[in-house]
A and B are shown apart, each in its own frame.
Chain A
Amino acid sequence: MLLHYLELAARSARASKGLSALMILALALGIGACMTTLTVYHVLSGDPIPGKSAHLFNVQLDAADKVGFKAGEEPNFDLTRFDATALVRDRKAKRQAMMSGSNVAVGVPDGHIKPIFSMTRFTTSDFFAMFDAPWLHGGGWTPADDEGEARVAVISSALNEKLFGGADSVGREIFVRGQTLRVIGVLKPWKFQPHFYDLTTGSFNESEDLFIPFSTAMLLKVGHWGNMDCWGKGANGGTPFDLNASCSWIQYWIELDKPADASAYLDYLKHYSDAQRTAGRFERPTNVRLRNVMEWLDSQKVLPADVRLQTWLAFGFLLVCVVNMVGLLLAKTLRRAGEIGVRRALGATRRAIFTQFVVEAGLLGVVGALLGLVLANGGLWLVRHSPSDYARLAELDAAMLALTLGLALIASLFAGLLPAWRAALVTPAVQLKVQ
């Protein structure tokens, strides 16, 4: 039966080529625009570390002074070195890491390669296990290395390629800030979208190429890239990186065994904050945050406002396309009132007429979806060649592909309902009389 309806639908589409083409084109444009923007939305709002995002938490403490204080505002974005060091020392979570970023020149001792400026993360030993870093060779450093300002480094496979031609470089030496470090690990290609553990060095940046212990970085004075807030006396004549500087610039992440442990850890943070105020270091009332990965991304508005705006715009466009399709389908249906009358007179039920017209709309939907897919691919190609920092991420995946077809089918069936209903209402007698 369905096959018969499909055949009728194809014949009817051929009979009014112009009108059908108009409908398909409009639907395809709407679907194409929606899929392009939805894919960008989907890619940018995805979970960067599925399976673990509910166990990883970002920590914020309000360490600033009272100047400009407003109750209920967000605490400091980052932690001070003093607080981060204290929390790491307490080890209240399963794993914890303090970290910050910079960009330093990395060279090799024989000097035949020009030093390569590399994004650098300096952190503590739990970092790699916490974020499931994939090892190609070797591994990370130990808490003892953190204590001992060990001259060790972990490099990315990309940097390993440039410096050592891709060989197993564990045990080899690299030059950083005029000092020699020993490579103890090489990572497989590794990146998070977005770069959630530090959003201040570009939300959609690649992962770093060089990882060194935090203590070693302080010794080597590698500087700092990213966000830094200072208050009161700030660096107080020293540098903002000093243990006692009133500057926040360190990201702090913890891993908990189960999400339910969060409340206990939150209590610990409040307790710590209270103790710091009693000691005279904190001036503001206790104001701490503990957010898991998705809550954190949400609070930092990682999804660009433009992307959300584009998505709404595209859906508005699709809506107009659907309304347009309803109107044109209605026109087409009513034009065929005579044909419907004959079919009804020959014994077709209202239900049969209704089904036939819905199938017809569905067929247009499928063709529109395929054309829309082509347009969406074109749209994404344009996005990939656009200047935004997330451009290269815009790829259509299987889920989005299914969604495209589904959306087009639903839109066209929805558009077909009203005309099909009107068609089913045609009374054979009136039509035949008019003929």
Chain B
Amino acid sequence: MMSSSTLTLGSSSARRGGLGGLFGALHVMLLDLTPILSTLRRHKIAAGLIVLEVALSCTIVTNALHLIQTRVDYLNTSNGLAESELAVLEVRGSKPIPPERVYGIVGEDLVRLRALPGVKAATSVNQVVYGNNSNNSGVTLEPDSKGVRIVASQYLSDDQLLPVLGLKLIEGRNFTPDEVLDSNKVFSEAEPRVGQVIINKRMAEKLFPGRSALGRAIYVWGSAPSTVIGVVETLTHPYLHRARSDGGYSMIFPLRGSGSFVVRTDAAQLDKQIKATTAAIESADANRVVTRARTLAEMRAAFYAQDRAMAWLMAGVCIALLLVTAMGIVGLASFWVQQRTRMIGTRRALGATEGQILRYFQLENLLLTTTGVAIGLAGAMGLSQLLMQSYELPRLPWIYLPAGAVSLWLLGQIAVWVPARRAARMAPVAALRS
């Protein structure tokens, strides 16, 4: 272990000439390989530690980067809404409102809201994207829950939902005002009947592949059919992550009941309009309180806050991990350079150039990181498998493997640069004298 100072490796790699250019460089590299390998054999433990550190970093960093990417994908999920122009108000009464009066009261409120200057459109809906409740129903193409059954998110609103949210109709038409029914009345029947429904594109493609969904019947509440009158481009589940696992089917029924108010105005006026709408609702009835009034952008930020925090945490750990690994490489490489001062001096005295010494250490580092990366990539696959089983995460895409390998190679080369250059700059005499 301690005998490195007696090594006589120098002369073998002095340039022999004859082969120029790339071949020359390759030749020199190959010549360097033998002494490097024999040195590493003498420093098994130190070399093993660097390999282990690189392997662990590679395993963790590839998987952590993948986790970050999955979170970033969540954050970027499109909601298909006119997000910057929307505000959501939740209203509650301190005294009970008889269910049969809800339809009328909500209708009056909507008239009041739509009359406000600056309000482009307003509606009341049972659930909102990023909100804290969701309604889902089983849907079949035959009566009484027979045949193929899918579960779709169920929006209950009126003819204004499409213009308020900015949803794009790709087929058919919107509801007309007189198609909007009293939800309390409909659901107090033993067999609820709603004649029309608008579904989203995903649901249309799932239920009616290759043909138009318009005019077709779906069954949600037993034996009464609802006819598809329109198909909208994007309408997600209120909990966006559920849209992935459930297929992302959504539908809208023209039913008015209790729910949240959604108001659309100019993006610049949003905050002012929230105050105006809150005042309009609360002044109409002293027993009512707007318990929460938020812009959709705020709701989106709150909804994803946890995912964003997790992505930052992962990124922080990745950076710290790479830094620590780099520190380890710098530390050990410095030690090696110091140990081999005599060897370097001998080589320099025998005619080796600065570049050759530099390359020697770089090649050595490349060998170590490559071994580490090879083990690390196998580890990354193993860890990914484990994460898939325990945390239901998707498999690590292959692209992360070369990306992880390249970053650790680069990290190794950068880290070894400082000690290697110090070695290369050493004056031969000084090196030999020590």
Binding site for B on A (CB under 8 A): 19, 22, 25-26, 29-30, 33, 67, 105, 107, 114-115, 117, 177-178, 221, 236-237, 305-306, 308-310, 313-314, 316-317, 319-321, 323-324, 326-328, 330-332, 334-335, 337, 386-388, 418, 422, 426, 430-431, 434
Contact = CB atoms under 8 A, between A and B. Distances in A.
Given A22-B331, A327-B49, A328-B331, A306 B317 contact: no
Given A67-B145, A387-B302, A331 B335 contact: yes
Q: Is the interface of B mostly helix, strand, loop or mixed?
A: helix
Given A306-B310, A313-B60, A323-B53, A330 B324 contact: no
Contacts, number: 126
A306 B305 CA distance: 13
Contact of B1 (A313, A328, A422): A422
Interface in B325-355: 325, 327-328, 331-332, 334-335, 338-339
Contact of A317 (B3, B320, B339, B387): B320
Nearest to A383: B309
Contacts of B188: 237
A114 B289 contact: yes
Contacts of B176: none
Interface in B279-337: 287, 289, 291, 302, 305-306, 309-310, 313-314, 317, 320-321, 324-325, 327-328, 331-332, 334-335
Given A331-B332, A434-B5, A316 B56 contact: yes
B324 A324 contact: yes
B46 A330 contact: yes
Contact of B331 (A19, A115, A308, A314): A19
B117 interface: no
B220 interface: no
B327 to A, nearest CB: 5
B45 interface: yes
A327 B53 CA distance: 9
B317 A317 contact: yes
A418 B49 CA distance: 11
A117 B291 contact: yes
B95 interface: yes
B324 A29 contact: yes
A87 B351 CA distance: 94
B335 A334 contact: yes
Interface of B: 1-3, 5, 45-46, 49-50, 52-53, 56-57, 59-60, 64, 67, 92-96, 145, 188-190, 287, 289, 291, 302, 305-306, 309-310, 313-314, 317, 320-321, 324-325, 327-328, 331-332, 334-335, 338-339, 387, 391
A311 B335 CA distance: 33
B5 A115 contact: no
Nearest to A327: B49
B321 A317 contact: yes
B275 to A, nearest CB: 18
Given A237-B189, A328-B332, A335-B339, 19 more contacts: A19-B331, A30-B324, A105-B93, A115-B94, A117-B92, A314-B317, A316-B60, A320-B53, A320-B321, A328-B331, A330-B45, A331-B334, A331-B335, A334-B2, A334-B339, A335-B335, A337-B2, A388-B306, A418-B45
A129 B47 CA distance: 64
A310 B310 CA distance: 8
Contacts of A19: 331
Most buried by B among A30, A320, A331: A320
A327 B46 contact: yes
Nearest to B53: A323
Contacts of B59: 316
Most buried by B among A107, A316, A324, A331: A324
Nearest to A105: B94
Contacts of B324: 26, 29-30, 317, 320-321, 324
A107 B188 CA distance: 31
B327 A426 contact: no
A143 to B, nearest CB: 28
Contacts of B306: 306, 386-388
B57 to A, nearest CB: 6
A266 to B, nearest CB: 30
B89 to A, nearest CB: 15
Contacts of A330: 45-46, 49, 332
Q: Shortest 4 CB-CB distances between A and B: which pairs?
A: A387-B305, A331-B335, A105-B94, A115-B94
A311 B324 CA distance: 19
16 contacts: A105-B93, A105-B95, A177-B96, A306-B306, A308-B391, A309-B387, A313-B64, A313-B317, A317-B60, A320-B56, A320-B324, A323-B53, A324-B53, A324-B327, A332-B335, A430-B3
Contacts of A388: 305-306, 309
B282 to A, nearest CB: 11
A328 B45 CA distance: 12
A8 B145 CA distance: 81
A332 B332 CA distance: 9
A319 B379 CA distance: 14
Contacts of B53: 320, 323-324, 327
B14 to A, nearest CB: 26
Contacts of A314: 317
Contacts of B3: 430
A177 B317 CA distance: 51
A61 to B, nearest CB: 23
A56 B2 CA distance: 65
Given A337-B2, A387-B305, A422-B45, A327 B94 contact: no
A25 B323 CA distance: 11
Contact of B2 (A115, A387, A431): A431
A334 B45 CA distance: 12
A178 to B, nearest CB: 5
Contacts of A431: 2
B338 A319 contact: no
Given A313-B64, A426-B2, A320 B325 contact: yes
Most buried by A among B56, B60, B313: B313
A323 B314 contact: no
